Structure 1
């Protein structure tokens, strides 16, 4: 099996805490991400419930996203990178 390198950005404290937890579990963070990726492929989605801000998936937000996608599909507007809160 050929391997490749992946680069991702995350909060430094999150990375540190995840590495500590992985070490306690006897694995590396890389191994944990490989387990996650394989589970995601197997389930064809995120392998756990994604919870948090209920407003992200409420109907007004979904309606806004549908309208934005319709606008993009009609050739108007523009795509942009995801901007996360700091």
Structure 2
């Protein structure tokens, strides 16, 4: 594999901040750039989230959010559990009724 050199101009603040992030994960900018290109080639896609996420919750989620708001407004009178296992046991016992 022949090596090629890539030169690009970026804002010095951007380079400094990006370097800090890369170093936090144990990389340098060259390694991150190589990984980016490898992932792009492997997935045949540009690995960036370029979209605007404006997802609207479905009706069931909206109803659950309203129910949670009502419980909070009443001072949190909903059930509480000390563990996930306790919560699941309660849910299963309610389902049996």
Gaps of 5+ in 1: 53-86
RMSD: 1.5
Kindly report structure 1 stretches of 4+ aligned residues shifted beyond 6 Å. none
TM-score by length of 2: 0.48
**Hey, what's the Cα distance between the residues in 1 that align with 2:30 and 2:37?**
11
Residue 17 of structure 1 corresponds to which residue in structure 2? 17
Structure showing greater Rg: 2
Cα 1:39–1:9 shift into 2, 3 Å: same
How many correspondences in the alignment? 52
Question: Deviations along 1:9-66, whole A, 9 cap, x unmatched?
Answer: 21111111011111111111000000000111112121132136xxxxxxxxxxxxxx
Cα 1:51–1:13 shift into 2, 3 Å: farther
Gaps of 5+ in 2: 53-97
